[in-house]
Amino acid sequence: MTSDALPAYDPAAEGARMSFDGRMSYGDYLGLDAILTAQHPLSQAHDELLFIIQHQTSELWMKLALHELAAARRHIAAGDLRPAFKMLARVARIMEQLNSAWDVLRTMTPSEYQLFRPALAESSGFQSFQYRMIEFVAGNRNMAMLGPHAHRADLAGPLRDEAARPSLYDEVLARLATAGFDVPPRARLDVPHQPDAKARAAWAEVYRDPQQHWELYELAEKLVDFEDYFRRWRFNHVTTVERVIGFKRGSGGTSGVSYLRRMLDVVLFPDLWDLRSDL
Ligand code: HEM
């Protein structure tokens, strides 16, 4: 049985623009020439492109997460919590997007990674400026982590500036204080959040009576969501790393999996986890 060939469909017939000479097209608006020519494998290994794109897309999502976190912090500082809820919810979804991305990278075996591992030399996600900035904004401020950026004033400067301003959680503590809870500001901003008995007690009060403190209660849960997804990212990362390099040292020079397992113990918002034992 034969069927008559259909005439080729031309979307121009229904008005699609087909000529972009002198006009802004999709690729122009999105800067795709720059993005799609930014992959430069240094070996002949088939899987190196996967490795590069996985990191680049992660960095793009981190850029958006920073944009959302910065705006959420501004809204919280202004006492305008509802837009901040939406932004923090988006950040949690971004973390989940990054979590799903490991499924693609997991298809790379240790044998395949070894084919281009020498090309990376000493470069490592350990030197990710944006990852460190997310940690600093959230409040995990370890000034030792400035080291890999010391040769770049344009990167070390913003990290140092960030460590000198109230973290996202500092602004949340200020909201607790405004609501009448006895929660003093942290004495030092350039250190990781330490568990604080007064803040823990204040949160326990909020969680014992959510109806009375709904906005603070919702804000706390948004932060816990964010940290929950962040923890899953760390766990997926360390599991993928063990699967690909075992217990070898990292390209960044740390002990590798042992270092990353230690990072699993990082707690961004200790009071918000501690209060749960008090209810
Ligand atoms: C096969 C893939 C990967 C391997 C074998 C790997 C390995 C490692 C190792 C061993 C470290 C510890 C530092 C070091 O000594 O190098 C590390 C840190 C890190 N990696 Fe990966 N990684 C992989 C994929 C990724 C991807 C896709 C990202 C996404 C951006 C990423 C982001 C990071 C970050 C942000 C750190 C610093 C973590 C911290 O200091 O808490 N890694 N990686």
Q: Where are the domains of the chain?
A: 46-123+167-278
Within 6 A (CB) of ligand 1 lie 54-55, 58, 105, 113, 124-126, 128, 131, 237, 240-241, 244-245, 250-254, 256, 259-260, 263
Determine whether the annotation assigns residue 212 to a binding site.
no
| CATH code given to domain 46-123+167-278 | 1.20.58.480
What is the band of 5 on the pLDDT scale with cuts at 50, 70, 90?
A: confident
Query: Any binding-site annotation on 53?
Result: yes
CA distance 134 to 186: 19
How many residues in total does the chain contain? 279
Which band of pLDDT confidence, cut at 50, 70 and 90, is reported for residue 122? very high
52 is in an annotated binding site: yes
pLDDT value at 16 more than 80: yes
Where does the pLDDT of residue 198 fall: very low under 50, low under 70, confident under 90, or very high at 90 and above? very high
Distance 200 CA to ligand 1 centre (A): 33
From 55, 124, 141, 257, the mutation candidate for ligand 1 (largest count of ligand atoms within 8 A of CB) is: 124
Tens digits of residue pLDDT in 25-71? 999 999 999 999 999 999 999 999 999 999 999 999 999 999 999 99
Ligand 1 centroid from CA 125, angstroms: 4
Q: Is 205's pLDDT higher than 90?
A: yes
Range 77-105 average pLDDT: 96
Q: Whose CA is nearest to atom 12 of ligand 1?
A: 256
pTM, full prediction: 0.96
Q: What separation in Å is there between the alpha carbon of 251 and the centre of ligand 1? A: 9
- Has 113 been labeled as part of a binding site? yes
